[in-house]
Amino acid sequence: MVAPVGSRRGGVTYGGRAMRLAKHLAHAGVASRRAAEALIFDGRVTVGGHVVRDPARAVDGTEPIAVDGRPVGAAEHDRAVYVLNKPAGVVSTAHDTHGRRTVVDLVKADRRLYPVGRLDADSTGLILLTDDGELAHRLTHPSFEVPKTYRAVVRNPPLREPALRKLREGVELDEGRTAPAKVRRISAGELELTIHEGRKRQVRRMCEAVGHRVESLERVAFGPLRLGNLPAGGHRRLTAAEVERLRAGPRTGGGRSG
C-alpha cells in the first residue's frame, strides 16, 4: 500500500524539534539528505509497513521505519566514529562532482561514512567521519555549542593585543557579529583560536577582519578530542570511551596532545 503524497507533513520529534522523513533518514546515517529523498521517491522506504513516497512525510516516533526491508536503527549499537587528519587539497564531502579526493576516500571502512561538519579544502587537521547521524547532529548543530580549536599562521606579524582582544570579544562579519572566542597567541605570527560556531570559513574571515590574513589553518581539537600525533592522511576508529565523551557534551579541546 502506498501512502498518499502530502499526507501528515511536519516531522518526527527529534531533540524537541520537528523533522521530516528524509532528514530523519539522513540523521540516522542511512544516506545523505538527497540520497534519502531518492530512496523515498523510489518506494524503498516503509513507515509502519506502508511504502511512503513523500520525503516530507511525518513519522510519530513509534512507527517502525525500514529501508529495503531493513529496520532503520537496527544496528545503532554498532555505529562507528573515525578521526582523520585531513591533508590539504582533500574536500570534506562524501562525494565530489569534480573528481577530487574526499575525506571518505581516505578512510577504509566496512560501512558508509559521512563527514561531521567541514574543513576548507586548503585547511588541514581533525575531522570526524561517522555513520551515526544523531551524534553528527549533536556535534554540528549550533545549539549544542561544541568547541572547535584551530591553529592559524597569519600574515602581517606581529599579532598585537588589540587584534586578539577583538577576536575574543567578537568580530563583525557580513552576516553579523561572531560569538566571543577563546584566543591564545603562540608566536608573533601564530595563534590558537577556539570557537563554537560553524560559519563558512569563519576563522579565516575573523582573522582577516582584524588585519591578519590566514596563511595556513589546522584544526587541532573537536570537543574533547585532540589531533595528537596522527600523521597527515592518517585515521583511526575512536574507542567506545572516546565516543561517550563526545556524546557527553561540549568541552574545550585545547590543542595538541602527545
C-alpha–C-alpha distance, residues 144 and 82, integer Å: 21
**What does the pLDDT read at residue 250?**
59
Give the domain ranges of the chain: 21-73, 77-141+226-248, 147-222
Residues with catalytic roles: 120
Topology (CATH level 3) of domain 147-222: Alpha-Beta Plaits (3.30.70)
Q: What's the pLDDT score for residue 61?
A: 61
State how far the Cα of 54 lies from the Cα of 62, in Å rounded to an integer.
Answer: 18
Longest dimension (CA), the chain: 69
Model pTM score: 0.70
The pLDDT of residue 2: 38
Give the span between the Cα atoms of 8 and 54, in whole angstroms: 10
Position 165 scores a pLDDT of 97
Give residue 161's identity as a one-letter amino acid code. E
pLDDT at 212: 98
- Residues 180, 165: Cα–Cα separation, whole Å: 10
**Do the domains spanning 21-73 and 147-222 agree at the CATH topology level?**
no
Task: Please state the separation of Cα 87 from the chain's center in Å.
Answer: 17
pLDDT at 69: 81
Class of domain 77-141+226-248: alpha beta
HSE at residue 205, side-chain half, CA atoms within 13 A, is: 17
Number of neighbours of residue 192 by Cβ within 10 angstroms = 19
pLDDT < 70 stretches in the chain: 1-18, 29, 60-62, 73-78, 250-258
Which residues lie across from 150 on neighbouring strands? 193, 219
User: For 21-73, which CATH superfamily applies?
Assistant: RNA-binding S4 domain (3.10.290.10)
